[in-house]
Structure 1
């Protein structure tokens, strides 16, 4: 990031309430513009399953980095980083304040840490994706451990997408994935003020269950059916996104609806725990009890106002 103006980040596990807080803040502070940091909210038509705010909620609000590409398109973390940084720079050029909101850990960290993304090697990636399908996540993770133990130590063994990307870079560039940029786990001082929403797991699990059931009621099955009916196959990431993968299996007759819903809930709970494990290592995050969203709003608002005063100095 070129600008050293202070920036505010609101992060938290899925279903923690961060989107509601962000919308409330943007409504009360007209100079705030929202920057979504969600790996799947960039895809058009993936609305219910990604818990995008309804259009009526976003009326008259400035929000960036949603609905950018069709789900048949591959959209990399490196491209996301470049476009998000451009959006942040444009917001600051208007003398407004960007509020980054999201739960995609690697995407968020890439912006905060200023990570340099290496190139892409599609043929190598395709071979690794085939290997992932054949041998599973743990087999690919073991391969990453052998080639770059430092990178492997920072990834979840069950996150096949990250193992694929790291190995793609290693095999394509001839360099270790961990050698690019400051990487993750350095926690160096920067211009970002990070506020995290924390909930007891029992409460978070209940919220996840309620949200998944609400998504089904809002029409998640119909949304997935519509996406599958479009011309052009879904790209690998959207196809495997939580909720979309399970409902697609239901529509193909491979699962009952009840089993698909249960699988979505289980996967979402696991994802929330991975998010928290990633963030708990970062001492720069100020954690706020999410059981009282008014308190979270107050903390975020005060932090933004403080940053605004610093910008004007």
Structure 2
């Protein structure tokens, strides 16, 4: 980050997005440090306390003195809520804007990013409908419910994996209580804030190598022990946290469904698939500016882009 001159006035909100292992966290921290802003986490699994190694959560030292918000706010037993995240993220964004400082949203959870910066309203919930659908999920499995979703809302079925029972239940609930497709409630490209989105673009072969190396480092850093500790705190009962990449695979090994070596290999495979879905999600947004450099050069490119966005 040598010889980098910060923009004379930064855009109101900056979002750093892209697939896992692309380098978003380091870039977002560098931008926030140069601009005197703060990082707001937009990785759904980094919201959970104790899920550090498996989510590649930056250590305090790696945050380089930059305040990071919305880390470690939920217990692993709590179900994720995009609506609650939206409320919390916008509170931090509004606070920083009122202080004349720059919010830097960083993460690869596409719906969370969009919930923070775009027009997105959340339909209500019906406890009876939700309970009935969850009972059906437990009895018949996610595949049967996914087939039903495909019949009533094909577009939603295309975007929700057949194994993601929680999201399938929510989609069917929304369809039932609103009479409209679940996809009708997904965000368009209408922003709440003046935002510049920066996508970190890494060639697929290089990204796959980074993912494999990251999983190796996580295992060496003690991911298995971290999962064992969190299991005692209720991880297995957490509807959202228990499905996190790495954690889900290690829990399966603890249950005797596979070996730890197999869990490690499956974590690599699943993470590569997940990275491709993340990339596809953000590629559909024409507002994202994609940068292909790395390290200090990436940060310099990003700040140049932000300077141009200010003066445009």
What is the TM-score normalised by the length of structure 1? 0.87
Q: Deviations over 1:98-132 (max 9, x none)?
A: 01110001111222322101122344334434444
Q: Deviations over 1:260-283 (max 9, x none)?
A: 101111110110011111122221
Alignment map for 1:223-238 (pairs within 5 Å): 223-230=226-233, 234-238=237-241
Determine whether 1:261 maps to 2:264.
yes
Q: Deviations over 1:12-31 (max 9, x none)?
A: 100001111122223333x2
Instruction: Say which of 53, 68, 76 aligns to 1:71.
Output: 76
CA–CA separation in structure 1 for the residues paired with 2:161 and 2:241: 20
Question: In 2 relative to 1, CA 132–198 (structure 1 residues): closer, same or farther, beyond 3 Å?
Answer: farther
Q: Deviations over 1:121-145 (max 9, x none)?
A: 3443344344445544443232122
CA–CA separation in structure 1 for the residues paired with 2:55 and 2:164: 19
What is the TM-score normalised by the length of structure 2? 0.87
Alignment map for 1:263-278 (pairs within 5 Å): 263-278=266-281
Instruction: Say which of 83, 95, 103 aligns to 1:98.
Output: 103
- Structure 2, unpaired ranges of 5+: 1-10
Give the superposition deviation at 1:199: 1.4
Instruction: Say which of 19, 30, 36 aligns to 1:24.
Output: 30
Corresponding residue number in structure 1 for 2:299? 297
- Structure 1, unpaired ranges of 5+: none
Give the superposition deviation at 1:210: 0.3
Total equivalences in the alignment: 301
Corresponding residue number in structure 1 for 2:218? 215
Determine whether 1:38 maps to 2:22.
no
Corresponding residue number in structure 2 for 1:53? 58
Corresponding residue number in structure 2 for 1:203? 206
Corresponding residue number in structure 2 for 1:15? 21
- Farther off after superposition, 33-42 or 188-197: 188-197
For the residue of structure 2 that corresponds to 1:242, the secondary structure is coil
Q: Deviations over 1:66-120 (max 9, x none)?
A: 1111111123111111111111101111110001110001111222322101122
